[in-house]
Amino acid sequence: MIFAIIGVGVVVYGIFYTISTSLSDCDLQLKIYEYFGKSPRRLKGKVVFITGASSGIGEHLAYSLAKHNVKLVLAARRNEELQRVKRKCIELSNQQLEDKDVLVLVLDVTDLESHKKHFDHAVRHFGHVDILVNNAGRSQRALWENIDMKVDKQMFELNVFGVINLTRLAISHFNKTGGGHVAVVSSLAGVIGVPYSGTYTGTKYAIHGYFNSLRNEKMGKNISVSLICPGPTFTNFLQESFTEKDGVKYDKTTQPTDRRMTAQRCGDLSAIALANKLGESWMGLFPLMPFTYISVYFPIIFNTALKLVGPEIMFKLRDSKKVELTEEKYK
């Protein structure tokens, strides 16, 4: 009798789990914390340093945090855009944040030598930094065998080396202050080997390796590590994507009819992940969540299905369009 009850429980749980992940725009853990976990309000008064804060997910994460009166360090290359984001952050806080509570830093993540100067500036301004969010980065659309090694190097400098260098400064700071939290806005491409984005996928897998190692190394030492993995989102990411050729951008724009998560929703979910110190969070519209779960927990099924439908289906799910990666495109 007891085994029958356990069996029924497992079946019910499996049905609930499958339905909930299929319908949700994020993984089950994040969805549960959205309803029953800690609110981003708990971050009020904390100092959060965000790179890539002038647009996209970084911009909207800043807005989500500003609504809860979180003090912000907004870092990116474009000062005018950062000032615009700063003004809106103060507005969204209902003027609870003052000018001094939102610091703008003009920072090029690939300029490693400048990192310490900028991080020290933030520490001098606020006295400390509580959370670092590494959000700056660029995607890619390219045929794997045609990618110029210069592109590989540039993408790793931006998406990996810039991230780990700034993070090492933050970890050294957290060691002195007694703890802290570091997060990386990664991608579902760090969970699934995404076709037609070889270098980008490689950078995200590298990030997961580095930061999973860091999490395990700092376990029990009051330093939290979060990997935030969004799927396709309405940002300028596609337009700015690397291609297979050095200096050439993909230069495609998203369309209102594309199936993508809004940057605002992604920013709100990211704020929840930060507030609850979640180790890894996935987000994306249907069918990306069941797709991701199957790839992780049932890789044989995933690989078999991919062989049947072809890799182009993944490209279309991500970009809502057919593959357009021919040599003619870049001539």
Sorted by where each begins, the domain ranges of the chain are 26-285+293-330
Q: Which residue has the higher pLDDT, 13 or 136?
A: 136
* DSSP state string for 298-325: -HHHHHHHHHHH-THHHHHHHHSS----
What does the pLDDT look like over 136-191, one tens digit per residue?
Answer: 999 999 999 999 999 999 999 999 999 999 999 999 999 999 999 999 999 999 99
- For residues 50 and 70, give the distance between their C-alpha atoms in angstroms, rounded to a whole number: 12
Of 283, 281, 267, 279, which is closest to residue 232 (Cα–Cα)?
283
Of 183, 240, 245, which is closest to residue 54 (Cα–Cα)?
240
What does the pLDDT look like over 118-142, one tens digit per residue?
Answer: 999 999 999 999 999 999 999 999 9
CATH match of 26-285+293-330 with 3.40.50.720: yes
**Cα pseudo-dihedral 51, 54, 55, 60, rounded to 10:** 70
Which pLDDT score is estimated for 126? 99
Active site residues: 200
- Read off the amino acid at residue 294: I
- For residues 14 and 247, give the distance between their C-alpha atoms in angstroms, rounded to a whole number: 48
Which pLDDT score is estimated for 327? 46
What does the pLDDT look like over 309-324, one tens digit per residue?
Answer: 887 777 776 776 655 5
